[in-house]
Amino acid sequence: MASVSKSNNTHITEKIDTSEVRLQERIDKGSFGTVHKAIWRNRKVAVKLIDKEQEKDFKIEEAQLSKLDHKNIVRLLATCRDKENLWLVMELAEDGSLYKEQSLNITLNIH
């Protein structure tokens, strides 16, 4: 059963069950966990899996992401957890991250 949380100046973030999300291939790995493509409610999403030992960082990231609402920032849609991980279900940036985009388009000017 999904529940909804909202605090001051934030958009609504659903608390869902992991069974609602179908993980697909891993698309990135960072210091806090991995990011996978996934399907949630017939929609392509990104899911960031964070080790439960990082729960404090997870709560900070969830709080920060829930406050962001801009067309150029991926939104946090839902959160859930399993035995090993905390899940952030987010909009999928189909063309990849800004970091990857910038690193692919670097031009060196050597004089």
How is the chain split into domains, by residue range? 3-104
> What Cα–Cα distance (Å) separates residue 52 from each residue in 19, 29, 41?
18, 16, 25
Q: Which residue has the higher pLDDT, 66 or 10?
A: 66
Q: Tell me which of 3.20.20.70, 3.40.50.2300, 3.90.1150.10, 3.30.200.20 is the CATH number of domain 3-104.
A: 3.30.200.20
Phi-psi region of 88 (alpha: psi -120 to 50; beta: other; left: phi over 0): beta
Cα–Cα separations (whole angstroms), residue 28 to 21, 34, 87, 100: 18, 6, 14, 11
pTM of model > 0.85: no
pLDDT tens string 16-74: 999 999 999 999 998 778 999 999 999 999 999 998 888 888 788 788 888 888 787 88
The per-residue pLDDT for range 64-93, each reduced to its tens digit, is 888 888 787 888 899 999 999 999 999 998
Backbone φ and ψ of 99, nearest 5°: -60, -45
